Amino acid sequence: MDFDMKNMTTYLGCITLALFVVYLCTNMMTLNNNIVEGLTSGATKTPDELLKLVQISKTKYIDDLRIDKYKKQYHQLLIETEDMLHLQMLSQIKTAVEKDKLDDEKTLASLSKLESTKSALKDLDEFLTHFKPS
């Protein structure tokens, strides 16, 4: 058997490469076992516990905002904010007409965002109207 140095280094290189690949694969498997996927980690809370947490958070907001005391001021704040939105919409429409860009996508998207904000303000106003602290 004739050992050629060139063949010997080729064999050693292949063996080293194979060992390195095996090492990488086992490392990746170990890493994959340590990673917790999705919502599977930790103990989950029961619906009753979640409800209690939400109620505590709600009570904190009610205490901080003192809605029963400042309800009229909050209504006025919503009205003033809605007026500001209307004025911003008018300003954007005026600018768009002056620049002949009324059908521009950016203008329409901006007006749409303002309209959705206005809708949210109306929902808040309705919430304040019917709100009764528990």
As a whole number of angstroms, the distance between CA 118 and CA 12 comes to 73
As a whole number of angstroms, the distance between CA 128 and CA 75 comes to 7
Does 41 map to a domain?
Answer: no
Give phi and psi for 45, each to the nearest 5.
Answer: -90, 150
Mean pLDDT by runs of 10 across the 134 residues of the chain is 73 88 81 59 80 92 90 93 94 91 87 91 92 78
Task: Give the pLDDT score at 107.
Answer: 87
pTM given for the model: 0.58
My answer on whether 84 and 131 are in the same domain is yes
**Is residue 121 within 8 Å of residue 83, measured between CB atoms?**
no
Number of structural domains (the chain) is 2
Q: How far is CA 109 from CA 65, 92, 104, in A?
A: 33, 11, 9
Task: Give the pLDDT score at 14.
Answer: 87
Does 119 map to a domain?
Answer: yes
- Alpha carbon 30 to its chain centroid, in Å, reads 32
Does 116 map to a domain?
Answer: yes
Domain that holds residue 85: 66-134
Task: Give the pLDDT score at 134.
Answer: 67
